[in-house]
Amino acid sequence: MASPTDCLPWLPGGFMVTVRALLFWALVYSYCAICACIELLKLLWSIGRSPGKTFQRIIRENPPACLSDPSLGTHCYVRIKDSGLRFHYVAAGERGKPLMLLLHGFPEFWYSWRHQLREFKSEYRVVALDLRGYGETDAPSHQKNYKLDCLITDIKDILESLGYNKCMLIGHDWGGMIAWLVAICYPEMVTKLIVVNFPHPSVFTEYILQHPSQLIKSGYYFFFQMPWFPEFMFTVNDFKVLKNLFTSRTTGIGRKGCRLTAEDIEAYLYVFSQPGALTGPINHYRNIFSCLPLQHHEVTMPTLLLWGERDAFMEVEMAETTRIYVKNHFRLTILSEASHWLQQDQPDIVNKLIWTFLKEETIRKRE
């Protein structure tokens, strides 16, 4: 077992390492400045066109009914002894059944797994977590509390607090990043790994440095390094950016997908419009460049990687390259008409693929 600290980067001394580090951080902050300038121009354009609308925000005091839908499960809380943080999650299925732990991406929360909560509760204790800083989970105020080693340890501690020593782990987007790292650092805790639209972290860091097109698509990673301005830009025009991420033609769910209803959109707006609700999630990204690349890479459990080919943020070429880091059964399925929001976009297909993978591994073990 490797600790989170062991998995994260270790750099030997030397002049060339210092030079490379300086060049790396020069790239990070230069691109950060470029992204900030672009966002500032967007803000000025919006103010010029409609100053009143730009700063308009609806106060949302009451959650939409879909967030308390009993068919999705029960709202629960667990407090972690070491960190003192209280985590919120929604659980479906009987206690004692094998644990299926679901980790959401950005900007999402437990609700992004609503279709899977309903689907898998017949055979699993399905737990959809609000990650550190998201939704009703506690949000530490200091940026340093969102380093990757903290996020990895959160999953280990939550697993133990729920009374389990292993789980079937599923992660999407940023939750996929965390899922990969948990699988690398605590392989004995992950029986099967399923990741949705996020490559192995080593593939991501190598690819982004070699392909300017992916660097551009990942521009928000760099923009989020700035204090407070990213949070502010999300609030412009009553969280128009947030709405567009799920609904626009370039980044949202397509016509053939399971589009979010008005109530679904309102659920996201309610959660992220609460005071300070964006800072915790964005803080996850503010430590990323000091935590990658990895020292340990290998994934040793059966792994399923699902990918929406119309992903506006991640290039599909990274999906196939991920195969080299998985030292066990690896299955990759690419859905040609699906977006980045795959488990919400094509829930029936995703659920079927997950069932097939789970049953396939059961048959493999019997043989």
Which of 222, 102, 208, 195 is closest to 155 using CA atoms?
102
Question: Of the residues 130, 138, 154, 173, which is catalytic?
Answer: 173
| Dihedral sign, Cα of residue 206, residue 330, residue 111, residue 243 | positive
Which of 278, 275, 272, 269 is closest to 227 using CA atoms?
278
Which of 302, 354, 358 is closest to 326 using CA atoms?
302
Which of 264, 258, 263 is closest to 349 using CA atoms?
258
Tokens of 3: 């600790």
DSSP state string for 117-145: HHHHTTTSEEEEE--TTSTTS---SSGGG
- How far is 40 from 297, CA to CA, in rounded Å? 38
User: Catalytic: 340?
Assistant: yes
DSSP state string for 192-253: EEEEES---HHHHHHHHHH-HHHHHHTHHHHHTTSSSHHHHHHHHHHHHHHHHHHHSTTTS-
Tokens of 336: 């040609």
User: Catalytic: 285?
Assistant: yes
Question: Of the residues 264, 285, 311, 325, which is catalytic?
Answer: 285
User: Catalytic: 264?
Assistant: no
Q: Which residues are catalytic, by number?
A: 173, 285, 340
